[in-house]
A and B are shown apart, each in its own frame.
Chain A
Amino acid sequence: MKASHKVMDLVRLGLHSILVHKGRSVLTSLGIIFGVFSVIAMLSINEGAALESERALRELGSDNILIRSVEPPNQESKATAEGRGASVYGVTLRDVARLRDNIPGVMRCVSVHKTQKYAHYLGRNLSVTVLGTEPTYAQAARTDVVAGRFLTASDVLLSKPYCVITRSLARRLFGYLDPLGDTFRLAGEPFVVVGVLSQLPSSLSGQDIDVDNCVIIPISTDRTRFGEYEVMWGQGGSRMEKVDVHQVILQMEGEKQVLDGAAIARSLLGRYHDQPDFEVTVPLELLEQRQKQRRLWNIMFLAIASVSLLVGGIGIMNIMLASVTERTREIGIRRALGAKRRDIIAQFLVEAVSLTTAGGLIGIATGMLIPMGIERALSVPAVISIQTLFWPFLMAVSVGLASGVYPAFRAARLDPIEALRHE
Chain B
Amino acid sequence: MSEELVAFRDVWKVYSVGPEGVPALRGVNLTIRRGEYVAIMGRSGSGKSTLLNLLGCLDRPTKGQYHLGGEDVSGMNDNQLSDVRGTHIGFVFQSFNLIPALTVVENIEIPLFYQGVPRHDRHPRSRELARLVGLGDRMEHRPAELSGGQRQRVAIARALANDPLVLLADEPTGNLDSHTTEDILDLFDELHARGRTLIMVTHEDSVAGRAQRIVMLRDGQVESENHLLAKGPAE
Contacts and interface: CB of A to CB of B under 8 A. Distances in A.
Interface of A: 2-3, 5-6, 9, 13, 16-17, 20, 329-330, 332-341, 343, 416-417, 420
B82 A16 contact: no
Nearest to A338: B86
Contacts of A337: 85-86, 91, 110-111, 114, 158
A365 B110 CA distance: 36
Contacts of B59: 417
21 contacts: A5-B118, A333-B97, A333-B98, A333-B99, A333-B110, A334-B114, A335-B58, A335-B85, A336-B56, A336-B91, A337-B91, A338-B85, A339-B82, A340-B79, A340-B83, A340-B114, A341-B78, A341-B79, A341-B82, A343-B114, A417-B53
Contacts of B114: 334, 337-340, 343
B118 A334 contact: no
Nearest to B88: A338
The 8 closest A-B pairs by CB, nearest first: A338-B86, A2-B116, A338-B114, A340-B82, A337-B111, A20-B101, A339-B114, A337-B110
B28 to A, nearest CB: 18
Given A334-B110, A335-B82, A337-B111, A9 B119 contact: yes
Interface string B88-132: 000101000111010000000011011110110000000000000
Nearest to B53: A417
Consensus secondary structure, chain A interface? helix
B87 interface: yes
Contact of A420 (B87, B93, B101): B93
Contact of B83 (A20, A333, A338): A338
A416 B82 CA distance: 10
A337 B89 CA distance: 8
Contacts of A17: 101
B58 A416 contact: yes
Contacts of B113: 6, 9, 13
B171 to A, nearest CB: 13
Interface in B109-159: 110-111, 113-116, 118-119, 158
B158 A5 contact: no
Contacts of B78: 340-341
Nearest to A6: B116
B162 interface: yes
B86 A330 contact: no
A337 B97 CA distance: 11
A340 B81 CA distance: 9
A343 B85 CA distance: 14
A25 B145 CA distance: 25
Contacts of B110: 333-334, 337
Contacts of B93: 420
Contacts of B98: 333
A33 B114 CA distance: 33
Contact of A338 (B97, B99, B115, B118): B115
B82 to A, nearest CB: 4
A5 B97 contact: no
Contacts of A332: 97
A89 B18 CA distance: 97
Nearest to B116: A2
Contacts of A329: 97
A411 to B, nearest CB: 14
Given A5-B116, A333-B99, A343-B114, A338 B58 contact: no
A6 B162 CA distance: 16
Nearest to A19: B101
A16 B109 CA distance: 15
Given A5-B116, A417-B53, A330 B58 contact: no
